[in-house]
Structure 1
Amino acid sequence: MTAAFVENSHAPSARAWDYLLQTWRELDVPEGWRAEIDEGQIVLVPPPHAHHNGIAEMVQRRLYRGLPDGLGIYQTLGVHVAPLGKLYVPDLVVMPTELIAAADPETSDPLDAAEALLVVEITSRGNAREDRTKKYRAYARAGVPMYLLIDRFDTRGAMCTLFTEPNDDGTFKHVDAVPFGKQLTLPAPFDVSIPTDEFPGRAAP
């Protein structure tokens, strides 16, 4: 079950955001599903395919090889894109561990996306457009320094794209894209290569 999307660059009012966030906190989401806040409404994202999870596991394993002390990799962490009033749950997000430790134990509030060092989204057939457009713009506006988009459904063929150097206008200055089968290198503080030839399920466009 998903809500319809309407393009809107304005964040909800403070009152509307507080209501949405409180509702999000109280949702009884089915196991494996994720609840996100986008365009002033709560959207339920269904569980992904096993190949999707396999890619996430492989990327996470590679990231750990070069992960500096004080950083952690999280799979179900909500992040708040404050400039746009959005709340996403990325497939992977790298955050300082001190922020995780300092989180309020009584609530499940999201962390500020601006604190993330890396956000990873892996497209599913039903949400690829949102990952390529809305989330791309949102993570840039939040100032996330690296956005890794793993797109099995790109019309050019399965692609792995790293966006860096975010702009306030919702774009990234630098793009490094490789097709599945090539290695993609993540710069400091990770300094690791992602061997995309090992990714399962190279889906047709």
Structure 2
Amino acid sequence: MSTAQIGPGDYSQVPNPEQALKYAIQHIAGERVELIDGVITPVSPSWAHERATALIGKQLGRRMDELGLLAGSGDLDLPGTQDFYLPDMAVLPEELFESEGALLPDQTLLVVEVTSPSNADTDRTVKRRRYAQFGAPLYLLVDRQEGACTLFSQPGELGYTRVEGPHPFGVPVRLPEPFEVDLDTTRF
């Protein structure tokens, strides 16, 4: 019995290339990476970038405790696409943190992306569209290059139908149910 050799670029023997690629970036790459439109993109936020996320988490802390929620930056899969995201922050029910695998955007209550010079356009357009298509109920874009925050809600196949902002840093951003919190954006 002979074993056929598979040459470079021959994926005919791979039963599901999408799953194979997503498995590889989770288990083999050795670093935190995302797939954005099929392109492997390293995730390495600066401390200034992390600051905005930490300040949001701090402001949501008490309310998350009351609701049994946690915030983190785990894997979000978008099945049927070449996308696999590591949001800067996702808030979800505590019991979902027991999952060893990726979650889906519709399992979150809030997704936060903080822009960097290298990814601002992706966060503003590609991720906004995809998070809406996959049912993330709230998407908060902290745009450090523009100095503004925008809250997207009411997701659908064509995008978010409700947009609040952009609000310049310093203007509070109201997160609706279940949070019912005004975020102080002064220090973002």
Normalised by the length of structure 1, the TM-score is: 0.79
After superposition, residues 104-119 of structure 1 pair within 5 angstroms as 104=100, 109-119=101-111
Point out the structure with max Rg over C-alpha: 2
Comparing 115-124 and 61-70, the one that deviates more: 61-70
* Structure-2 change in CA distance of 1:14 and 1:110 (3 Å): farther
Q: What's the % identity of the aligned pairs?
A: 34
Shift of 1:83: 4.8
Could you say which residue in structure 2 is the equivalent of 1:203?
none
Could you say which residue in structure 2 is the equivalent of 1:17?
18
Asked if 1 retains the 8 angstrom alpha-carbon contact of 2:18 and 2:80, the reply is: no
After superposition, residues 27-106 of structure 1 pair within 5 angstroms as 27-29=29-31, 34-45=32-43, 47-67=44-64, 68-74=66-72, 76-101=73-98, 103-104=99-100
After superposition, residues 105-184 of structure 1 pair within 5 angstroms as 109-154=101-146, 158-169=147-158, 171-177=159-165, 178-184=167-173
SS at match of 2:30: coil
Q: Which runs of 5+ in 2 are unaligned?
A: 1-13
User: Deviations along 1:36-74, whole A, 9 cap, x unmatched?
Assistant: 1122232212x2222211111100111113224332111
What CA RMSD, in Å, does the superposition of the two structures yield over aligned residues? 1.6
Q: Could you say which structure has the greater relative contact order, defined with CA pairs below 8 angstroms and 6 or more residues apart?
A: 1
Asked if 1 retains the 8 angstrom alpha-carbon contact of 2:18 and 2:81, the reply is: no
Aligned residue pairs, count: 172
* Structure-2 change in CA distance of 1:93 and 1:172 (3 Å): same
SS at match of 2:54: helix
SS at match of 2:177: coil
Normalised by the length of structure 2, the TM-score is: 0.85
